[in-house]
Amino acid sequence: MITHYEVFVPSIVVNDEALFQKKNRSIPRDIALPELALNKEITEVTATSQELVCLFNRFDETFGAQIHKGEAEALALLNTDKIPTECFYCTGDKIAI
């Protein structure tokens, strides 16, 4: 995908959520997001705390608490000028859709 598209990934996903492999196994290169970001093969983007607060203010507390950190940052970033407006949002989490 990264050879055909510019891919923007929230910093929480790059630095935390993609690290799901067992500790005794290395992370496969295609999901080694910190390395891909360092090599500029993907673009790491970061939401501010204010941007996250604005997102969560749109939902009631119970619903907002169900959105995982990475999806929350991605959704918050959709309302900023940090990513192009033609970006697609991709997640497998039902609540974040």
- Number of neighbours of residue 46 by Cβ within 10 angstroms: 14
Single pTM value for the model: 0.81
Mean pLDDT of 11-28: 70
* Cα distance between residue 18 and residue 33, in whole Å: 7
Q: pLDDT band at 55, cuts 50/70/90?
A: very high
Number of domains into which the chain is organized: 1
Give me the pLDDT at residue 84, please: 85
In a domain, 2, yes or no: no
Domain of residue 82: give its range.
8-96
SS3 43: strand
Q: Does residue 3 fall inside a structural domain?
A: no
57 vs 96, more confident: 57
Is it the case that residue 23 has pLDDT exceeding 70? no
* Among the listed residues 12, 18, 15, the one whose alpha carbon sits nearest the alpha carbon of residue 72: 12
Query: Does 66 reside within a domain?
Result: yes
Residue 19 falls inside a structural domain: yes
Q: Is the pLDDT of residue 90 over 70?
A: yes
Query: In which band, very low, low, confident or very high, does the pLDDT at 31 lie, cut at 50, 70 and 90?
Result: confident
Would you place residue 64 in the very low, low, confident or very high pLDDT band (cuts 50, 70, 90)?
confident
Domain annotation covers residue 1: no
